[in-house]
Amino acid sequence: MSDYYEVLGVDRDASQDQIKKAYRKLARELHPDVAGPDAEDRFKDVGRAYEVLSNPEKRRSYDMGHDPSAPGGGMNGGGGFGFQDIFETFFGGGQTQRGPIPRSRRGQDALVRLDIDLSEAAFGVRRDIQVDTAVVCGTCSGSCCRPGTSPRTCDVCNGRGTVQRVARSFLGQVMTTAPCAACQGFGTTIPEPCAECSGEGRVRSRRTVSVEVPAGVETGNRIKLTSQGEVGPAGGPAGDLYFEIRERKHETFLRRGDDLHCTLEVPMTAAALGTVIELETLDGPESVDLRPGTQPDQVITLKNLGVGHLHGGGRGDINVHVEVQVPTSLSEEQAELLRQLAVLRGEERPEGRVAAAHPGVFSRLREKLTGR
């Protein structure tokens, strides 16, 4: 039976930290990929010694003269090669990456909110927007290295990005593959990182991006600019940049799809006699013709003066909702004139007429309750 303490070069009263430190040092020095095939037997001995001495129960048994790593010596209880390693080896749960991991990777997508006015949504607009994103480092051009230097092949894994380890288990001798801890699986190391980007190959920067907002967009729509997002690590390809539309409220018009709605308040005399009122639209002043006898809640439509259609030509309409204002206070002279009018119309004793509720009543009630 080998003296495991002597194999690791530690005293018999060595602590677990000292045993682990000694094992890691020897494992790096004696790994077959580093020291060559001649060191394979010593590498296995070091692994077997660590498997025993890193486990308190096995170490206690070993100190009493029994070698737990010998055939029939017992199952692995912790410190060395365990059930997880065995599962990974035989059932494919371990590292499947072949070769080194690329240091350069695609960057993340970026999302920016874009506030626009109703007129910009109706006709479309081109905007220049400043965005803060990651860009390629101007000092190292994405190499991650100080100018004049370059990545160095990892001394531990020889550029493969992975290392193999051999250990004993109740199934016998098995081998697993894991990412190299020295280079994090990249296969290369950066001995002299770029001071500007700290070895990232990218830096944060503010830049101006031009975005074309098409007519017909509305709140929640997103505009995608391909490869205009975050540059990836080591100068990797940029992700995409998205602009999410937020449409500001308009002081006059309420938008429903591509149609616009507004309310026109007129006195009852104007509704009865008719008149022409000028309305300021997105296209400029337009005349709204109220014919004599215009009724409350009547809708006057101005064709093709709404929002442009997002997917095709044409535009929506403007719907003018007429609200007739009934006076709440009259002078004696005004009241007398209305009484004379009522006599002339045979309405001096109006009885009224009960009819079914107009759908507009419920729509107005819903708007008041929901605010929409």
Positions at the binding site for Zn(2+):
137, 140, 154, 157, 180, 183, 194, 197
Specify the residue for token string 């997917």. 311
Distance CA 178, CA 160 (A): 11
DSSP string, 255-320: EETTEEEEEEEEEHHHHHH-EEEEEEETTEEEEEEE-TTPPTT-EEEETT-SPBPTTSS-B--EEE
Q: Which of 239, 134, 238, 235 is nearest to 194 (CA)?
A: 235
The one-character DSSP state at 234 is G
Residues 6+ apart with CB under 8 A from 3: none
- Indicate if the alpha-carbon torsion angle 232, 237, 238, 240 is positive or negative: negative
Residues belonging to the binding site are 137, 140, 154, 157, 180, 183, 194, 197
| CA dist., res. 197 & res. 184, Å (int) | 19
First to last CA, the chain: 86
Query: 164, 177 in Cβ contact below 8 A?
Result: yes
Q: What is the phi/psi pair of residue 371, to 5°?
A: 75, 15
